[in-house]
């Protein structure tokens, strides 16, 4: 609808296929980013820097940060000082 500037309450099969394709694109891209950041520990990714950024600069809660970077809450508390 955004490209055609046409609004309709009806969702066609073509619309659904396009939405699924777009969703899969974003899912695949997110996996690439995740693998680059977290899967290869020797990549130089610094969990301490990321944890501090997410907690202090972005206001993310500790539970979500520990899940995201793959560490325990007690380890996270030590990282954050």
- Interval 11-63: pLDDT, tens: 889 989 999 999 999 988 888 887 777 665 555 567 888 888 899 988 999 99
Does residue 73 have a pLDDT over 60?
A: yes
CA-nearest of 33, 66, 37 to 51 is: 66
pTM of the model: 0.47
What is the per-residue burial (b if ≥16 Cβ within 10 Å, else e) of 11-26? Answer: eeeeeeeeeeeeeeee
Are 51 and 80 a contacting pair, CB within 8 Å?
Answer: yes
pLDDT confidence tier of residue 1, bands split at 50, 70 and 90: low
The Cα–Cα gap between 27 and 20 comes to 10
Does residue 5 have a pLDDT over 60?
A: yes
Give the pLDDT confidence score for residue 22 in this predicted structure.
93
Q: Report residue 32 as tokens.
A: 């690439």
């Amino acid at each position: 609808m955004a490209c055609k500037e046409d609004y309709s309450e009806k969702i066609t099969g073509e619309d659904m296929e396009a939405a699924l394709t777009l969703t899969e694109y974003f899912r695949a891209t997110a996996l690439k980013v995740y693998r680059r950041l977290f899967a290869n520990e020797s990549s130089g990714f610094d969990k301490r820097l990321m944890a501090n950024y997410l907690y202090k600069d972005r206001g993310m809660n500790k539970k979500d940060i520990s899940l995201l970077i793959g560490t325990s809450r007690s380890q996270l508390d030590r990282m954050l000082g």
